[in-house]
Amino acid sequence: MKITEHLKNAKSTLFSFEILPPLKGQSLKELLEGIEPLMEFKPPFVDVTYHREEFIYKKHPNGLLEKVSTKKRPGTVGICAAIMNRFHVDAVPHLLCGGFTKEETENALIDLNFIGVDNVLALRGDAPKTEGRFVAEKDGHHFASELVEQIIRMNNGKYLHEETETSFHTDFCVGVAGYPEKHFEAPSLKFDLNYLKEKVDKGAEYIVTQMFFDNKKFFEFERKVREAGINVPIIPGLKPITTLGQITMLPRTFFLDLPDALTDELLQCKTNAEVKEVGIAWAIQQSKELVNAGMPSIHFYTMSKADATYKIAKEVF
């Protein structure tokens, strides 16, 4: 079922979450068993991230280095099928511009349609860690809005190289990313919102936000999104902080701020267990406020570790 229908049918705020495919060489069993307890809170959908290739340097006997591409977390499509089969919930694969030609995107969408996926989150993706900036594939998309456009064209029966419309249409509901603290490359929030609007104008039907730790920033973002004339549902994304390392890693990686009150509490913690307790309590308080504000759904970034999200959901949903 489409995310938009789930949201329309909901009587109260829905619970949903995101997982990462396991590292190459690890089994799926552990991941699926790990998220099983979260099914108690009846998530209508589970997002599965997509990870593009990274580049590594392989040394040859002659001393020359060869740059080779490898994927650390393959399996997004397979995990979606496994989740739908096992838990009977919708799986939402993330689909990137990066690393895909338009033709490969078309084929990926056909695969997703054939396994019964109804929704995709359309994203640009980042540059591989060894590269400085995002570069599209030759004949690939440069921005998520172009990917949205391709998906909607397919929904209208228009494939890349077909002269005429086909009789079979896909019918994906497309979500896109939004950034309460703006995307790191955007010179201003206003600039970023112009392009968020472009994604929606091209057919995206809902927005999932980057994680944030200050609800005030989210509510301000929501207000500006509406002022910009964007009227689709916004699903706030939350992540409980669970380790000492995340106190600096999350702001560095996701270009966001931690509020002073949270930082002060976290900096008094000596162990990961203490951090986790503070992180969970903070996310519970954020979630309750968002539920009271009538959010359609709250989306949790589990990073495939379900225990903290379970404790939050038990208190809130």
- Distances in Å between the alpha carbon of 304 and those of 28, 83, 237? 11, 13, 15
- Smaller CB separation from ligand FAD, 99 or 279: 99
* Least distance (Å) between residue 121 CB and ligand FAD: 6
Applying CB under 6 A, which part among 152-160, 183-191, 241-249, 282-290 lies near ligand FAD?
Answer: 183-191
Single-letter amino acid code for the residue at 250: L
- Our CB check for ligand FAD shows the closer of 16 and 170 to be 16
161-189 burial code (b ≥16 CB/10 A, e <16): eeeeeeeeebebbbbbbbbbbbbeeeeeb
Identify residues 65-104 at the interface with ligand FAD (CB under 6 A). Answer: 94, 96
Place of tokens 């329309």: 8
- If binding means CB under 6 A, how many residues of this protein chain bind ligand FAD? 23
308 scored as a contact of ligand FAD (CB under 6 A) = no
Which residue, among 14, 102, 81, 5, has the nearest Cα to 295 in the 3D structure?
14
User: How do 206-211 and 173-178 pair as beta strands?
Assistant: parallel
Report how far residue 16's alpha carbon sits from residue 43's, in angstroms, rounded to the nearest whole number: 5
Distance CA 317, CA 315 (A): 6
123 sits near ligand FAD (criterion: CB under 6 A): yes
Q: Of how many residues is the chain composed?
A: 317
User: How far, in Å, CA of 96 to CA of 107, rounded?
Assistant: 13
Rounded Cα distance between 294 and 8, Å, is: 13
> What span, in angstroms and rounded, lies between the C-alpha atoms of 97 and 146?
8
How big is the CA angle at 302 (ends 298 and 307), to the nearest 5 degrees? 105
Question: 208 pairs with which residues across the strands?
Answer: 177, 235
| By CB under 6 A, residue 50 contacts ligand FAD | yes
Dihedral (CA of 244, 250, 252, 257) sign: negative
Q: Which is nearer to ligand FAD, 206 or 282 (CB)?
A: 206
d(CA 95, CA 87): 22
Residue (208 or 313) nearer to ligand FAD, CB: 208
Indicate which single residue of 152, 177, 250, 316 sits in contact with ligand FAD (rule: CB under 6 A): 177
Nearer of residues 87 and 143 to ligand FAD, judged by Cβ: 143
38 lies in the binding site for ligand FAD (CB under 6 A): no
Task: State yes or no: residue 185 binds ligand FAD (CB under 6 A).
Answer: yes
Q: Least distance from C-beta 243 to ligand FAD, angstroms?
A: 21
Q: Which of 18, 149, 181, 205 is catalytic?
A: 18
Please indicate whether residue 227 is annotated as part of the active site: no
Candidates 53, 126, 257, 307; binder of ligand FAD (CB under 6 A) is 126
Among 13, 16, 49, 302, binds ligand FAD (CB under 6 A): 49
Instruction: Indicate whether 125 belongs to the interface with ligand FAD (CB under 6 A).
Output: yes
Q: Which of 237, 240, 279, 296 binds ligand FAD (CB under 6 A)?
A: 237
How far is it, in rounded angstroms, from Cα 156 to Cα 204? Answer: 14
Binding piece for ligand FAD, criterion CB under 6 A, among 25-33, 45-53, 101-109, 217-225: 45-53
Q: Does 255 bind ligand FAD (CB under 6 A)?
A: no
Pick between residue 16 and residue 113 the one whose CB is nearest to ligand FAD.
16
Binding site for ligand FAD (CB under 6 A): 49-50, 52, 94, 96, 123-126, 143-145, 177, 183, 185-186, 191-192, 195, 199, 208, 210, 237
Q: Which residues are catalytic?
A: 18
